[in-house]
């Protein structure tokens, strides 16, 4: 029976770094991976077939990727058929496979319905770092006229809290999934990965996947991922408590992963 690992995290949260690690460890992540870009020079490690599916679902629901409010997608028959074909092919050809796309945060329960045994690696990053990185990327896109309509990029300046609301919406959806399926969820922060947390070892211990252990130092490039952690400007003060609560809940999940590895280390002594 085939096994699946979904890597889920908000935009600019370190999912590309983690998937670079998983790719090196032997996890199949797709037949046609999204090419590298200035914002991800080592690659996105996103399966374009799944990425395009998620984009289409958003379009059919009158949305772009800038989802900043709780979102319950309507999945129509063509969507189910495409998802079914994706699952059927990968299950037939791979004993273990996975995928990553930040948009999957919005569709976790749908994928869990299709893949009831799927495991989820939840990757999170501090809201200040994520939103700063996202804004910097979008400003480069806007002024360089690289891809996409400028009106999309301008929204980050026309709506000052847009990136924060997006971070909150995506991570709240992940927390809902983690609370519903705690045994199928493992959470790691980008800080943990940067500090050398053995992600592959934790995954193997949690679910027995048998991936090749690769230390994060083999793929981590400090020139690509930096730590800012400055003060976060907020226009809507009512967001403060919600954001803090979401961050603390994510950190509690990350501590559980750290504790699992610490217990395993002690047991081997």
Q: What is the pLDDT of residues 147-202, one digit of tens each?
A: 666 677 778 778 889 999 999 999 999 999 999 999 999 999 999 999 999 999 99
Confidence band (pLDDT; 50, 70, 90) for 217? confident
What is the number of domains present in the chain? 1
Q: What is the pLDDT of residue 22?
A: 97
Q: What is the pLDDT of residue 146?
A: 55
Give the tokens for residue 88: 């059927």
Among residues 80, 118, 75, the alpha carbon closest in space to that of 96 is found at: 118
Which contiguous run of DSSP H or E holds residue 176? helix 162-180
Residue 224 sits in a domain of what CATH number?
3.40.50
For the chain, what is the mean pLDDT? 89
Q: What is the pLDDT of residue 158?
A: 83
Sheet of 3-8: strand order equals 96-100, 3-8, 119-124, 185-189
CA of 239: how far to CAs of 65, 166, 167, in Å?
A: 21, 12, 11
Statement: residue 37 has pLDDT above 80: no
Please give the model's pTM, rounded to 2 decimal places.
0.90
Question: How would you classify residue 62: left for phi > 0, otherwise alpha for psi between -120 and 50, otherwise beta?
Answer: left
Average pLDDT over residues 244-259: 97
Average pLDDT over residues 18-22: 96
Confidence band (pLDDT; 50, 70, 90) for 264? low
Q: Which domain holds residue 59?
A: 3-268
Cα 57 from Cα 64, distance rounded (Å)? 10
Q: What is the pLDDT of residue 136?
A: 76
Confidence band (pLDDT; 50, 70, 90) for 4? very high
Cβ distance 201 to 121 under 8 Å?
no
């Amino acid at each position: 029976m085939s096994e699946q690992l979904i890597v889920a995290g908000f935009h600019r949260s370190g999912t590309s770094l983690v998937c670079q690690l998983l790719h090196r460890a032997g996890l199949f992540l797709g037949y046609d991976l999204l090419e590298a870009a200035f914002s991800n020079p080592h690659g996105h490690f996103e399966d374009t077939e799944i990425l395009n599916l998620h984009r289409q679902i958003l379009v059919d629901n009158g949305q772009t990727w800038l989802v900043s409010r709780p979102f319950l997608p309507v999945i129509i028959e063509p969507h189910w058929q495409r998802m079914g074909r994706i699952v059927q092919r990968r299950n037939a050809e791979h004993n273990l496979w996975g995928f990553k796309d930040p948009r999957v945060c919005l569709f976790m329960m749908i994928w869990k319905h299709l893949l009831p045994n799927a495991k989820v690696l939840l990757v999170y990053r501090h809201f200040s770092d994520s939103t700063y990185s996202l804004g910097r990327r979008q400003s480069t896109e806007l002024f360089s006229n690289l891809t996409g309509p400028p009106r999309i990029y301008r929204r980050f300046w026309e709506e000052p809290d847009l990136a924060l609301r997006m971070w909150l919406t995506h991570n709240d959806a992940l927390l809902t999934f983690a609370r519903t399926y705690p045994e199928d969820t493992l959470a790691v922060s980008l800080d943990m990965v940067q500090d050398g947390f053995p992600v592959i070892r934790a995954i193997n211990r949690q679910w027995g996947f048998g991936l090749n252990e690769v230390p994060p130092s083999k793929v981590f490039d400090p020139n690509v991922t930096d730590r800012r952690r400055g003060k976060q400007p907020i226009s809507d003060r009512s967001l403060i408590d919600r954001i803090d609560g979401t961050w603390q809940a994510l950190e509690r999940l990350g501590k559980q992963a750290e504790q699992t590895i610490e217990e395993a280390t002690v047991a081997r002594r």
